[in-house]
Each structure stands twice: as structure tokens, then as C-alpha cells.
Structure 1
Amino acid sequence: MNATDDTAGEGPSSAVDDTDPRFAQALRELGLGEVIGRVRRLPATARTTAEAAASIGCEPGQICTSLCFAADGVPVLVLLDGSAHVGMELVRQELGAGKLTRAGAHLVREYTGYGPGAVPPFGHRTKTRVLVDRSLLGHDLVWASAGTPFTLFPMDPRTLIAHADATLADVREPLA
């Protein structure tokens, strides 16, 4: 399956009936109800970038990775190109935080309403600050979690950033 072709065929199947209900409602509230029909249910879990890319048939960089942190105790979600690594010090500086820690599974669920490996870019339980690394803009289309470890949806990065009410930042760890 071509990464820019979200029609049915071999590989992932349409997930209209499998879309997380909270995420489907968030899509509707954002005026993105048509995206529900583009959600793909994967044949196996996609908790890692490699698993997601292999299932969709795209490059790892086209997977929008969602990472949850606590900046001075306040939730923040960082979205970046799946081939990138987050620079925690860069995130801390961008936020002007004194302390930045990775959010544990309990806090991820509390902040977003979704489990680790299944956090979508928007539609969270609580208002969560979102940073998006500029690396996502290097792609015409990215695949992001649709609220379960088995579902992804395609979207152009600029639309995703706008609906996530995100701030663009440079938080990708520099290549060594």
C-alpha cells in the first residue's frame, strides 16, 4: 500500500467501526468528520514507529510520534517526525520550564484520556499544550494515532498542527 493512498486494499483496513468513540467525537467537533472514514485499523498493534510504518507502508518519518511530558508538573504533548528523537533539553527550554519529565502511563491517561502508544494529536480529555517539531513539515502526509494502538489516520501536517492548536518548535535532537 502506498503511504499516500488511503484506499482499501492489502494491508490496513477501514476502521470506521473501530475508531475510538472519543476521538471520533473530537473529529466531529473539529469539523473533521470525514477523517473517520480514513482511519485505518492495522492488523497488529502500532505502539512503535517501526510497527506503524511497516503496517501502513510508509517511511518512519511519516509517522507522527506523540510523546507526553510534564513541564513543572503541567502536561505537554510533543509531536514529531517518527524518524526523529526528541531533545528533552530543547523542549524544556522552549517551554521555559524548570523541570521536564516523561509522563508515566497513569499521567498520560489522566492528561489525554488515551494510553501510551495511542495518543492522538488532538481530542484530549484535558486542555494539553502541544508542541510540534518542524520536522513534520517535511512531509506532504503524516499518519497519526487515532486513539488506539491499532488505528492511524492520514492528514497533511499543516492541518494537523492547526487542529492540535500546536506551537511549532525546534525540539528534534540534533544528529550526532
Structure 2
Amino acid sequence: MKKVAPPQCLQNAFEENGLTQIDVFEFPEGTHTAVDAAKAIGCNVSDIGKSLVFVTETLNPILIVMNGADQVDMNKAANLLGLPIRKAEATEVRETTGYVIGGVPPFGHAKPVETLIDKKLLEKDTVWLAAGTPKTVFSLSTRDLRDVTGIETGVDVSA
């Protein structure tokens, strides 16, 4: 593990939100999945916030920041949004967020993305999140996550 600089888009988001003391860590073994990240960090998989990108039938991107131990229930998410959704393709993830799958942070994206956050994740005090690559992460209090995203109440979209 070593401390590294985040991608510029994420660094800008940190600065814009007064998060100037955030440390980004790189793990050579990778943090591509929530399980990989938990193993690398040495935490419970439920302490990982995985950022998953979906697309509605009208092609609007939706980011769901999910508790790492759970899966998204596509039907629950679609019902909540009022539109059918599908998983975004790798090119759609990159085009929308500016990041590759496995490295998408919950904010600091290339384009605005409607975001939902799992209620179980927001029950945590601190979570670990992807920092722009499948090998980098940062920790953040859920209070700061709420402040940055503007989301106070989590949703139940877990399977």
C-alpha cells in the first residue's frame, strides 16, 4: 500500500467540497471488487461502498453506491426510479464518469450522474470508496458522503 494522488477530476471534487485531508491509497494487488478491496484494506466487505453504474431505458445514467456485501436488486431500483434499468456497458461507464469499472468513485465524475446510496451503507460511520482506478481507494465518513452527494436518506435497493 502506498499513498498516491487521485485523478484530477476527483482531486477537484475533494477541493470543491473542503475534503483537503483525504488520503488516497494504492494497493498493488488491486481493489477491483468489493471483496478485493476489503482483503487489501483489512476491513469487512460491508465497509466498502461500491459505485455501480446503470442506464435507464431513456439512456440516463444512474449511479448506485452500494454496500459491498450486497447486490443491487434491479427490480427494486427500477421501481424506485419509475423506469427499467440495465447495467451500463464499460464504454458508458467511462464516458459518463470518466473512470473505468472497478475504479468509479461516488462523486467527481466527468458528467452529472443521478445518484442513489444504499441505506445500509449510510448506517456506517466510515466507508472505503474507489478512487479512480481499480487499485486505489479512500476512506470517507458517511457524513461527508452525504454532504458531497446531497443525499441524506439512503434507499433500499439490495437483493
Matched, 1:78 2:67: no
Picking from 32, 36, 46, the partner of 1:47 is 32
- Aligned pairs for 1:98-137 (under 5 A) are 99-137=84-122
RMSD across aligned positions (CA): 1.3
For the residues of structure 1 that align with 2:128 and 2:85, how far apart are their CA atoms?
27
When normalised by structure 2's length, the TM-score is: 0.93
Aligned to 2:156: 170
- State the secondary structure of the residue aligned to 1:154: strand
Q: Which has the larger radius of gyration?
A: 1
For the residues of structure 2 that align with 1:71 and 1:31, how far apart are their CA atoms?
32
Is residue 132–residue 161 contact of structure 1 (8 Å, CA) maintained in 2? no
For the residues of structure 2 that align with 1:137 and 1:66, how far apart are their CA atoms?
14
- How far residue 24 of structure 1 moved from its aligned partner, in angstroms, is 1.0
Aligned to 2:143: 158
- Alignment gaps of 5+ in structure 1: 1-11
When normalised by structure 1's length, the TM-score is: 0.85
Aligned to 2:79: 93
Picking from 7, 19, 22, the partner of 2:9 is 22
Q: Deviations over 1:92-124 (max 9, x none)?
A: 011111x21100000001111111111000001
Q: Deviations over 1:119-143 (max 9, x none)?
A: 0000011110000010102322110
- State the secondary structure of the residue aligned to 1:117: coil
Matched, 1:67 2:56: no
- State the secondary structure of the residue aligned to 2:150: coil
| Structure with greater contact order relative to length (CA < 8 Å, sep ≥ 6) | 2
Aligned to 1:3: none
Aligned to 1:7: none
Is residue 146–residue 152 contact of structure 1 (8 Å, CA) maintained in 2? yes
For the residues of structure 2 that align with 1:71 and 1:111, how far apart are their CA atoms?
13
Is residue 61–residue 114 contact of structure 2 (8 Å, CA) maintained in 1? yes
